[in-house]
Amino acid sequence: MNEPQNLGSIVRRQRERLGLTLKDVSIKSGVSVSHLGRIENGQRYPSASILRRIAKPLQIDEKELFNLAGYLPGEEPKTPDLKRHKLLEELDILVDSVTADTSRIRSIIRELHKKD
């Protein structure tokens, strides 16, 4: 199965892309706002029945969502936006890494330039 955080990030990005709030998805799916929030934050892993309920409001093919959740054998996403989301997620991780490295580099440079 995919990591819960990864699936949660995909769900969040898709919801935000559609301009929906957690409450909007909750109303359309019947899944509580708190449960949706925990899924997006990687604190809960959705069951198959929850995935089925949130697929339609998120405009994600149910089979594709099951695949992303790791319930089906791996296939390439059919929805270009989901492929894009995966790439954006990977980019976010790389940017975080570069940001941390850049901060450390600046810190080292400051230390080197300190006058003793």
pLDDT recorded at residue 5: 44
Spans of the chain, pLDDT less than 50: 1-5
The three-point CA angle 45-47-49 to 5° equals 145
Q: Class of 4-113 per CATH? A: mainly alpha
pLDDT recorded at residue 94: 64
pLDDT recorded at residue 4: 42
**Residues 6+ positions from 29 with CB-CB distance below 8 Å:** 36, 53, 54, 56, 57
DSSP class of residue 75 equals -
Query: Where are the domains positioned within the chain?
Result: 4-113
pLDDT recorded at residue 1: 44
Q: Which of 61, 92, 89, 95 is nearest to 75 (CA)?
A: 61
In Å, how far are 8, 43, 91 from 29, measured between CA atoms?
Answer: 16, 19, 30
